[in-house]
């Protein structure tokens, strides 16, 4: 399977949570009248077991309302899910905005626009004996056009994720059975399917942007476009949104984020110094990137729950064994939030290189501008970026070997 080198595209985790100190006069006028409230309600089918809540030290059976994405998420209100699974919470919608709903902490998150009441139902706690990180699609039931736009964006994103899982799984099993049926494996390797799926997803997202560029919720689609390639178009749409809806501060914030993104992308171009870091290993000893000076090091950003990450480790072991005596090292950097799960995975994989756990996932992902794992950076002996890859693919391995063969 051919997959292109990692190219930066807009990722939700990049969006900052800065609160603007002042709104334009029109926005202040909008907020000057009586407060407007909307109700978010729904039902959760399965709740976290009480013993799990006790083990983790807090009640997970709540619905949170907040801003931000992933580990950057900050909740400002919450409601306890009732024993029958229902919940209901009133939200200040005097100035409409996009909030993110966290359904039973760690289970699922979905955005919604506060211009109308909404109902969000979810399966909730994963009751499967073997848990796989694959969040379900969550539908927002609402009379709001903006929430219907968000539904379309979320469904496109969810379908794209399912397609990527299919591609990785099929490739994995084809390679395992290559000795029996090499035709299947060779055919899949030539198709470049993941990039084709990604291109289809981009076209679907662009259709939403073209049709709803004048609606506030279009920023949900703009978040998922390639800001490196489409920065001018994105900024133009955001300017029009700000002019039409002066109270919609999300558009102005995204404009700042796009500009910041462009600056950070340039800082991570090949040949630029890699951001330094010092993280603890599984024994609690600090390991710094600077300690690898003079050697080529492959930074492998991964997580214990990431199937493709775990599937790639045997191949990375082969690479390490081949080049470790030529000034080459590997450094695993986990973005796990569960230290015990990480330690268990480190023990199971039994790799020969150092493994560290970032204490600040958001900071790590922001500095190296990635959201998906595995993401890999090849750094030279001077601490400069040589190349970067999304996934340890055959193409990534070939590129890395070509570079290391010159050592």
pLDDT value of residue 130:
77
Do 139 and 156 belong to one domain? no
pLDDT value of residue 97:
96
Question: Which two three-digit tokens encode residue 373?
Answer: 């794992």
Could you tell me if residue 130 is inside a domain?
A: yes
Q: Rounded mean pLDDT of 251-279? A: 94
* pLDDT: which is higher, 399 or 18: 399
Do 323 and 354 belong to one domain? yes
Do 136 and 157 belong to one domain? no
Could you tell me if residue 202 is inside a domain?
A: yes
Do 388 and 285 belong to one domain? yes
Neighbours of 199 (CB within 10 A): 11
Among 347, 368, 362, which Cα is nearest to 304's?
Answer: 347
Q: Which of 267, 297, 314 is the last residue of a domain?
A: 267
Do 305 and 249 belong to one domain? no
pLDDT value of residue 26:
40
Do 159 and 122 belong to one domain? no
Residue 134 — pLDDT band, cuts 50, 70, 90? confident
Handedness of CA 38, 44, 49, 55 (dihedral sign): negative
* Domain residue limits at 121: 34-143
Q: How many domains does the chain have?
A: 3
* pLDDT over threshold 60, residue 28: no
* pLDDT: which is higher, 78 or 196: 78
Residue 362 — pLDDT band, cuts 50, 70, 90? confident
Could you tell me if residue 5 is inside a domain?
A: no
For residues 1 and 393, the answer to whether their CB atoms sit within 8 Å is: yes
- The 3-state DSSP class for residue 109 equals strand
Contacts of 99 (CB under 8 A, 6+ apart): 65, 66, 67, 91, 111, 112, 114
Do 124 and 167 belong to one domain? no
Ranges 67-76, 165-174, 199-208, 214-223: which has the least confidence: 67-76
pTM, two decimal places:
0.74
pLDDT value of residue 32:
58
- Number of helices and strands in the chain (H, E): 12, 16
């Amino acid at each position: 399977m051919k997959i292109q080198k990692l190219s930066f595209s807009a990722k939700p985790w990049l969006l900052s949570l800065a609160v603007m100190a002042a709104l334009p006069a029109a926005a202040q006028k909008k907020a000057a009248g009586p407060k407007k409230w909307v109700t978010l309600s729904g039902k959760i089918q399965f709740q976290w077991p009480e013993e799990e809540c006790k083990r983790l030290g807090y009640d997970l059976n709540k619905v949170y309302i907040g801003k931000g994405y992933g580990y950057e998420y900050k909740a400002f209100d919450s409601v306890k899910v009732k024993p029958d699974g229902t919940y209901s919470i009133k939200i200040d919608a005097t100035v409409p905005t996009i909030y993110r709903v966290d359904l039973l902490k760690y289970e699922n998150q979905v955005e919604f626009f506060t211009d109308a009441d909404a109902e969000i139902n979810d399966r909730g706690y994963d009751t499967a004996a073997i848990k796989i990180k694959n969040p379900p699609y969550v539908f927002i039931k609402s009379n709001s056009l903006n929430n219907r736009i968000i539904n379309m964006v979320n469904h496109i994103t969810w379908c794209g994720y399912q397609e990527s899982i299919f591609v990785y799984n099929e490739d994995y099993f084809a390679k395992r059975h290559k000795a029996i049926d090499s035709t299947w494996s060779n055919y899949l390797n030539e198709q470049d399917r993941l990039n084709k799926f990604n291109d289809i997803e981009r076209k679907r997202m662009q259709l939403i942007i073209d049709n709803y560029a004048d609606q506030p919720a279009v920023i949900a689609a703009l978040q998922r476009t390639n800001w490196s390639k489409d920065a001018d178009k994105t900024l133009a749409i955001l300017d029009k949104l700000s002019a039409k809806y002066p109270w919609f501060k999300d558009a102005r914030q995204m404009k700042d984020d796009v500009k910041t993104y462009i600056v950070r992308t340039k800082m991570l171009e090949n040949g630029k110094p890699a951001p330094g870091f010092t993280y603890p290993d599984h024994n609690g000893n600090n390991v710094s990137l600077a300690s690898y000076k003079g050697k080529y090091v492959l930074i492998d950003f991964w997580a214990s729950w990431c199937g493709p990450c775990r599937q790639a480790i045997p191949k990375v072991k082969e690479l390490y064994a081949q080049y470790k005596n030529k000034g080459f090292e590997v450094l695993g950097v986990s973005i796990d939030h569960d230290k015990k799960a990480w330690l268990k995975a480190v023990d199971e994989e039994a790799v020969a290189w150092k493994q560290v756990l970032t204490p600040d996932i958001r900071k790590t992902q922001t500095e190296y501008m990635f959201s998906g794992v595995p993401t890999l950076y090849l750094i030279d002996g001077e601490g400069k970026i040589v190349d970067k890859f999304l996934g340890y693919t055959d193409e990534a391995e070939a590129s890395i070997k070509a570079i290391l063969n010159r050592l």
